[in-house]
């Protein structure tokens, strides 16, 4: 045993004995990003308010690393403890693997996820903010540590500086858990939602698998498209005579020269060109015949694709040519996933546009494997029809040979694409003003369109009104799983209540069915799920074994009744990745 360690073996043993007696132990890790090529330098443990950081893999001052055999004692303690708490479990579980500590199949808890489930509207789910919000201590801030980190990176912070920082993280995680858990238990009593956290924990494990596997990228294609897009933008800037990437220049051209209306204003009453305003301007530009409008749209398309797709794909690749994004379970108000580093949830399904037509082709598989996309067909619309008990829609959904939008189009005397736009606009809480903008009709005509739709499908209007009433009554609506969507400003948000119920409820379906794929052995070396985008997944299958896995994956994903019978059929569409080739099931 080393005699000059900053913690003695007796100190460690005393701490572990304390942890064994504690109802829970909080864990925090320090290291690089937790992908298969990451490093974990050490971990902090806290129980009964006693916290300590244990260093094992620091390279900047290895003399402060503790004996490796001590790690075995910590491993045994954590793997056998009945309740291990982390603030970002998905991250820490992967980091602990680098220390040969496996909590993947243990009964772990996550304060970040439980905080998100208690109230998704918290301003932040970061440990520092959450601790402060619940009256606890902030994360420790060390000026020297910040300077070293900024100049050289995390790996160069010595143990003596990171020790109090790491220990404090575990301590405030423990304190946060003590304050948060009662709120979670009150909101989700076992009689109402006995398995809610169990499913979220299972989904966390599933995301660990997907992130560890990664998704293979065609680097040559991504580089070629990035360079082509960069060149194209330069040509467009030159031909237009201004920079469409400049909000000031673009605003002047849109309003003063092209004569487009001001669709949104800032608090100072100036024209707004934020994300939502630009979505509307893009729609307006697409409807004009002005050559400048087409070139502006083309520029903006390439700008988004090069900056949000091809460039980050190249910059964030792992050594094996795979992307490993961070899927955030706490990233949206409705409970859907969000994705970052890079965002792989903004890949267009199919596109003839030059700037993103090759985007899906950048996602490839190894030689000897094929990729397939499984997509829920009209998942949210089906769920909405079920809630509204709209039998004529439920009957259409029950027949794979019928197309719901075509039949609604005949009923309403509209075009199929118009109907599809109308359905999703109303479904997302859009009223007469939005219909007026999208269809370029008067407010009176927009109101008439909505009234005619609801006259034919009255159940949808009734259930939307009921959801809105529940939001006003309780301040939240409840999904079929017991999970809640809270509203901060009902005056502005109550009209979105039903959309929240079906959007959040639809993802609860997707989430549970994805977990079932893993539980039924349909996620393995021969068949890997490597991408999740809202209501769809991509599966990387060993060539020649598609007939084994594809029908089984379809069966599981469509078998929603195992969790709840909504009274409507759910259907999965299957096609080969980046093609229109559908998989034909054997008769």
> Do the beta carbons of residue 199 and residue 511 sit within 8 Å?
yes
Give helix then strand counts, H and E, for the chain: 23, 16
Query: So what's the pLDDT on residue 1?
Result: 43
> Do the beta carbons of residue 585 and residue 547 sit within 8 Å?
no
Residues forming a β-bridge with 109: 85
DSSP per position, 299-367? HHHHHHHIIIIIHHHHHT--TTSEE--EEETTSSSSS--EEESS--S---SS---TTTTTTGGGEE--T
Residues forming a β-bridge with 31: 40
Distance (Å, whole) CA 559 – CA 573: 14
> Which of the four pLDDT bands, split at 50, 70 and 90, describes residue 146?
confident
When the pLDDT of each residue in the chain is averaged and rounded to a whole number, the result is: 94
Residue ranges and CATH numbers for the domains of the chain are: 9-213 (3.30.420.10), 216-323 (1.20.1060.10), 380-479 (1.10.150)
Q: What letters, b where the CB count within 10 A reaches 16 and e where it falls short, cover 44-54?
A: bbbbeebbbbb
Q: What is the pLDDT of residues 480-499, one digit of tens each?
A: 999 999 999 999 999 999 99
Burial label for 311, CB within 10 Å (0-12, 13-18, 19+), is middle
- Give yes or no for residue 34 having a pLDDT over 90: no
> Do the beta carbons of residue 329 and residue 204 sit within 8 Å?
yes
Average pLDDT over residues 257-266: 92
> Which of the four pLDDT bands, split at 50, 70 and 90, describes residue 194?
low
Query: So what's the pLDDT on residue 584?
Result: 81
Distance (Å, whole) CA 208 – CA 89: 10
Query: So what's the pLDDT on residue 568?
Result: 98
Phi and psi, residue 531, nearest 5°: -155, 140
Lowest mean pLDDT among 44-53, 75-84, 181-190, 317-326: 181-190
**What residues contact residue 552 under an 8 Å CB cut-off, 6+ apart?**
520, 522
Residues forming a β-bridge with 216: 322, 364
**What residues contact residue 114 under an 8 Å CB cut-off, 6+ apart?**
180, 181, 184, 197
Distance (Å, whole) CA 541 – CA 527: 4
Query: So what's the pLDDT on residue 571?
Result: 97
Give the dihedral sign, CA 153/155/158/161.
Answer: positive
> Which of the four pLDDT bands, split at 50, 70 and 90, describes residue 87?
very high
> Which of the four pLDDT bands, split at 50, 70 and 90, describes residue 338?
very high
**Mapping DSSP to helix (H, G, I), strand (E, B) and coil, where does residue 53 land?**
strand
- Give yes or no for residue 587 having a pLDDT over 80: no
DSSP per position, 234-303? HHHHHHHTS-TT-HHHHHHIIIIIS------B-TTSPBP-SHHHHHHHHHHHHT---HHHHHHHHHHHHH
Q: What is the pLDDT of residues 491-527, one digit of tens each?
A: 999 999 999 999 999 999 999 999 999 999 999 999 9
Lowest mean pLDDT among 64-78, 222-236, 419-433: 419-433
Q: Which two tokens stand for residue 244?
A: 């469409």
> Do the beta carbons of residue 323 and residue 317 sit within 8 Å?
yes
Distance (Å, whole) CA 231 – CA 18: 63
**Mapping DSSP to helix (H, G, I), strand (E, B) and coil, where does residue 74 land?**
helix
- Give yes or no for residue 444 having a pLDDT over 90: yes
- Cα dist from 31 to 88, 94, 153, 164, 377, whole Å: 14, 11, 11, 15, 42
- Give yes or no for residue 193 having a pLDDT over 80: no
- 449: enclosing H helix or E strand: helix 443-456
Of 568, 452, 547, 553, residue with least CA distance to 505: 568
- Give yes or no for residue 11 having a pLDDT over 50: yes
> Do the beta carbons of residue 190 and residue 482 sit within 8 Å?
no
∠ at Cα 94 (89, 95), nearest 5°? 95
Local structure of residue 538 (DSSP, 8 states)? E
- Give yes or no for residue 157 having a pLDDT over 90: no
- 575: enclosing H helix or E strand: strand 572-576
Distance (Å, whole) CA 372 – CA 380: 22
């Amino acid at each position: 045993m080393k005699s000059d360690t900053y913690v003695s073996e007796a100190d460690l043993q005393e701490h572990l004995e304390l942890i064994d007696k504690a109802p829970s132990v909080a864990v925090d890790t320090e290291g690089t990003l937790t992908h298969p090529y990451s490093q974990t330098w050490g971990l902090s443990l806290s129980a009964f308010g006693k916290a300590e950081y244990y260093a094992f893999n620091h390279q900047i001052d290895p003399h402060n690393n503790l004996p490796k055999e001590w790690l075995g004692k910590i491993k045994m303690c954590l793997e056998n403890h009945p309740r291990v708490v982390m603030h970002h479990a998905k991250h820490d579980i992967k980091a602990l693997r680098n220390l040969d500590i496996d909590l993947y199949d243990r009964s772990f808890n996550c304060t970040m996820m439980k905080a998100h489930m208690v109230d998704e509207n918290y301003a932040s789910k970061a440990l520092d903010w959450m601790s402060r919000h619940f009256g606890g201590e902030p994360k420790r801030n060390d000026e020297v540590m910040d300077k070293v980190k900024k100049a050289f990176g995390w790996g160069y912070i010595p143990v003596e500086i990171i020790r109090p920082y790491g220990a404090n993280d575990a301590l405030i995680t423990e304190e946060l858990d003590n304050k948060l858990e009662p709120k979670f238990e009150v909101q989700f009593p076992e009689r109402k939602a006995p398995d809610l956290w169990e499913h979220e924990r299972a989904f966390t494990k599933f995301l660990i698998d997907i992130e560890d596997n990664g998704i293979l990228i065609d680097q040559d294609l991504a580089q070629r498209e990035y360079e082509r897009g960069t060149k194209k933008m330069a040509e467009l800037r030159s031909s237009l005579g201004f920079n469409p990437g400049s909000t000031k220049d673009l605003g002047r051209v849109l309003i003063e020269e092209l004569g487009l209306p001001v669709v949104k204003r800032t608090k100072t009453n100036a024209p707004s060109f934020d994300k939502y305003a630009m979505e509307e301007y893009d729609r307006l530009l697409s409807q004009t015949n002005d050559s400048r409008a087409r070139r502006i749209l083309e520029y903006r398309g390439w700008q988004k694709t090069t900056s949000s797709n091809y460039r980050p794909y190249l910059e964030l690749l792992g050594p094996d040519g795979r992307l490993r994004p961070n899927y955030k379970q706490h990233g949206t108000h409705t409970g859907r996933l969000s994705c970052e580093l890079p965002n792989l949830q903004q890949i267009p399904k199919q596109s003839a546009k030059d700037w993103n037509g090759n985007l899906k082709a950048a996602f490839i598989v190894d030689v000897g494997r094929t990729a397939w996309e499984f997509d829920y067909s009209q998942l949210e619309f089906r769920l909405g029809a079920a809630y509204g008990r709209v039998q004529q829609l439920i009957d259409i959904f029950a027949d794979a040979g019928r197309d719901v939008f075509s039949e609604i189009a005949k009923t309403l005397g509209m075009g199929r694409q118009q109907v599809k736009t109308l359905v999703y606009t109303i479904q997302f809480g859009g009223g007469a003003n939005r219909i007026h903008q999208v269809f370029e009709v008067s407010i009176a005509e927009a109101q008439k369109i909505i009234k005619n739709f609801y006259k034919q499908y009255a159940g949808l209007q009734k259930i939307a009104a009921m959801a809105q009433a529940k939001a006003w009554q309780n301040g939240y609506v409840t999904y079929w799983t017991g999970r809640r969507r809270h509203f901060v400003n009902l005056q502005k948000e109550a009209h979105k209540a039903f959309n929240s119920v079906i959007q959040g409820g639809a993802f609860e379906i997707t989430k549970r069915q994805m977990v079932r794929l893993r539980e039924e052995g349909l996620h393995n070396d021969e068949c890997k799920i490597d991408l999740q985008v809202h209501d769809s997944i991509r599966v990387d299958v060993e060539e020649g074994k598609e007939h084994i896995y594809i029908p089984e994956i379809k069966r599981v994903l469509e078998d929603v009744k195992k969790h709840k019978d909504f009274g409507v059929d759910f259907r999965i569409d299957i096609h080969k990745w980046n093609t229109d080739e559908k998989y034909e099931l054997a008769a």
